[in-house]
């Protein structure tokens, strides 16, 4: 059964607002998982509902390791999102992905430490598949939008997520290249995992700002990153506008809409009511079937 689109956009470093949003208002959304990074900017572009969340908050007060990704994803689910397009600043681990090029991510390597990575645990044990961690449909549509906006594009990228907030050492940067990673960042995990648990198709576009430090004589500093983010920002906004404008009039169901099917392993008589209460949005389709 088709349905309308409600696109959640998670803006990373350098993307703190959405242009052309009609009837826009910032709305505070309470989450049982804690405080989201910011209020959610709700509005529409044409007939498409849009929900924008600045990942680090307006003005960038929230550090990568302090992000409450559970609250962020839960808030977007409560805001009615059907799909999520995430934008992140990334470093490049490949010569051919130069600063200014946009990389559509296909796979992830997780090197984060100690971040809450799941909505599920004791009382409602659930295992979702992450073999293909992004939505191929969304990724293809956003790649076409970037190309239409005349952006330089790389597809099929593997993203290694590090804890930060420090940039990587040269030895680490070389190691990640040997592992097959193409871009490096600090925020896409556990965000992508949580979106899958919330049955939200997720696509990630990396805006390349630098070459990390694997190249001889290369280093990374914030001034360099910020300068490139500013150059990337307009094209990112143009690509988002094109992506939304090109969406089909009606949304066909995605297999990711049913990611929790057959994923719960805890017997019904062992479900913890307190845990279920926190999952009212994330797993609402499963817990409250119509």
Residue 10 pLDDT class (50, 70, 90 cuts): very high
Model confidence, pTM: 0.96
Q: State percent of the chain over pLDDT 70.
A: 98
Residues 58-83: tens digit of each pLDDT: 988 999 999 999 999 999 999 999 99
The reply to whether 257 falls in a domain is yes
Please check the confidence at residue 32 and state whether its pLDDT lies above 70. yes
Question: Which of 35-39, 131-135, 146-150, 225-229 shows the lowest per-residue confidence on average (mean pLDDT)?
Answer: 225-229
**What pLDDT score was predicted for residue 14?**
64
Q: State percent of the chain over pLDDT 90.
A: 86
Q: Is 12 helix (H, G, I), strand (E, B) or coil?
A: coil
The reply to whether 40 falls in a domain is yes
Scanning the structure block, which residue is given the tokens 């242009």? Answer: 19
Domain count, the chain: 1
The reply to whether 101 falls in a domain is yes
**What pLDDT score was predicted for residue 110?**
98
The reply to whether 71 falls in a domain is yes
**From 30, 47, 210, 262, active-site residue:** 210
Q: Which residues pair with 83 in a beta bridge?
A: 7
The reply to whether 136 falls in a domain is yes
Annotated catalytic, 212? yes
The range of the structural domain enclosing residue 139 comes to 6-287
DSSP 186-212: SSHHHHHHHHHHTT--EEEEEEEEE-T
Residues 181-228: tens digit of each pLDDT: 999 999 999 999 999 999 999 999 999 999 999 998 778 778 877 788
The reply to whether 65 falls in a domain is yes
Assign 3-class secondary structure to 109-126.
Answer: EEECCCCCCCCCCCCCCE
The reply to whether 1 falls in a domain is no
Residue 252 pLDDT class (50, 70, 90 cuts): very high
The reply to whether 24 falls in a domain is yes
Residue 150 to residue 147: CA distance in whole angstroms: 5
Q: Supply the mean pLDDT for the chain.
A: 94
Label the pairing between strands 153-162 and 102-111: parallel
**What pLDDT score was predicted for residue 12?**
73
**From 122, 212, 219, 280, active-site residue:** 212
Task: Give the tokens for residue 271.
Answer: 């479900």
Please check the confidence at residue 237 and state whether its pLDDT lies above 80. yes
We report the CATH number of the domain holding residue 15 as 3.40.50.1580
Residue 83 to residue 135: CA distance in whole angstroms: 9
Residues 89-118: tens digit of each pLDDT: 999 999 999 999 999 999 999 999 999 999
């Amino acid at each position: 059964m088709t349905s309308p689109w409600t696109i959640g956009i998670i803006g990373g470093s350098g993307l703190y607002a959405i242009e052309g949003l009609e009837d826009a208002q910032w709305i505070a959304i309470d989450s049982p998982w804690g405080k989201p990074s910011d209020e959610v900017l709700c509005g529409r572009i044409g007939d498409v509902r849009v929900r924008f969340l600045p990942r680090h908050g307006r003005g960038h007060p929230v550090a990568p390791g302090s992000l409450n990704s559970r609250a962020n994803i839960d808030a977007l689910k409560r805001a009615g999102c059907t799909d999520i397009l995430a934008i992140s600043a990334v470093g490049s681990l490949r010569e051919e992905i130069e600063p200014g090029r946009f990389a559509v991510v296909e796979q992830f390597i997780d090197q984060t430490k100690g971040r809450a990575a799941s909505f599920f645990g004791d009382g409602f044990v659930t295992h979702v598949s992450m073999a293909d961690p992004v939505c191929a449909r969304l990724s293809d549509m956003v790649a076409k939008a970037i190309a239409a906006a005349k952006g330089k594009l790389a597809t099929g990228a593997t993203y290694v997520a590090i804890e930060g907030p420090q940039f990587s050492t040269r030895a680490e940067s070389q190691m990640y290249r040997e592992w097959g990673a193409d871009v490096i960042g600090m925020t896409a995990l556990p965000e992508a995992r949580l979106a899958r648990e919330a049955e939200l198709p997720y696509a990630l576009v990396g805006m390349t700002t630098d070459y990390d430090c694997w190249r001889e004589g290369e280093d990374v500093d914030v001034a360099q990153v910020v300068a490139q983010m500013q150059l990337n920002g307009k094209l990112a906004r143009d690509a988002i506008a094109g992506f939304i404008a090109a969406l089909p009039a009606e949304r066909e169901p995605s297999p990711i809409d049913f990611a929790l099917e057959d994923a719960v392993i805890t017997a019904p008589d062992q479900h913890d009511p307190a845990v279920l209460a926190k999952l009212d949005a994330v797993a609402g389709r499963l817990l409250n079937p119509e």
